[in-house]
Amino acid sequence: MATHNDLGTLGEDLAIDYLIKQGYQILERNYRYQKGEVDILAKKDDALVAVEVKTRTGNYFGHPHEFVKPKKIKLLVATVDHYVTQNDLDVEVRFDIIGIVHAENQFKIEHIEDAFLHF
């Protein structure tokens, strides 16, 4: 089995492939600002979409998206705000979570759009 970091990288690779197939244009991967990091920044229609990817080997302790806590949300928002300001963008911003669970030699992908509206 892959190490923790390898599994995370594999999950991001799978998420990018999934998003491209869904018509997203990938703009950045692992965009960092201060203590924050956004796994994927993508464009879909006229929106900038910040995607947090959570990959797990099972959902015994909860679904991957349940591990995005308020502190992480605050860092994501600040990082995306910096990206928008630095690039002088005038766009709608959406925050999505892609949860990936590896079980029984398969990967199951769950894409939650506007994820922070559900918290």
CATH number of the domain within which 98 lies: 3.40.1350.10
* pLDDT at res. 69: 75
> What pLDDT score was predicted for residue 1?
46
pLDDT in tens, the chain (119 residues): 456 568 788 899 999 999 999 999 999 999 999 999 999 999 999 999 999 998 887 655 565 556 677 888 899 999 999 999 999 999 999 999 999 888 788 888 999 999 877 55
User: Which amino acid is residue 115, in one-letter code?
Assistant: A
Dihedrals phi, psi of 110, to nearest 5 degrees: -120, 120
Separation CA 47–CA 94 (nearest Å) = 7
For residues 11 and 64, is the Cβ–Cβ distance under 8 A?
no
pLDDT score of 40: 98
User: What value, to the nearest 5°, has the Cα angle with vertex 19 and ends 18 and 20?
Assistant: 95
Give residues with Cβ within 8 angstroms of 3, minimum separation 6.
none
Quick one: DSSP state of residue 35? T
State which residues form the domain around 61.
Answer: 4-118
Tokens 């002088």, residue located: 88
Domain count, the chain: 1
Residues 6+ apart with CB under 8 A from 95: 49, 50, 51, 52, 73, 76, 77, 80, 114, 115, 116
Residue corresponding to tokens 């992908």 = 109
pTM value surpassing 0.85: yes
Tell me the residue type at 58. Answer: G
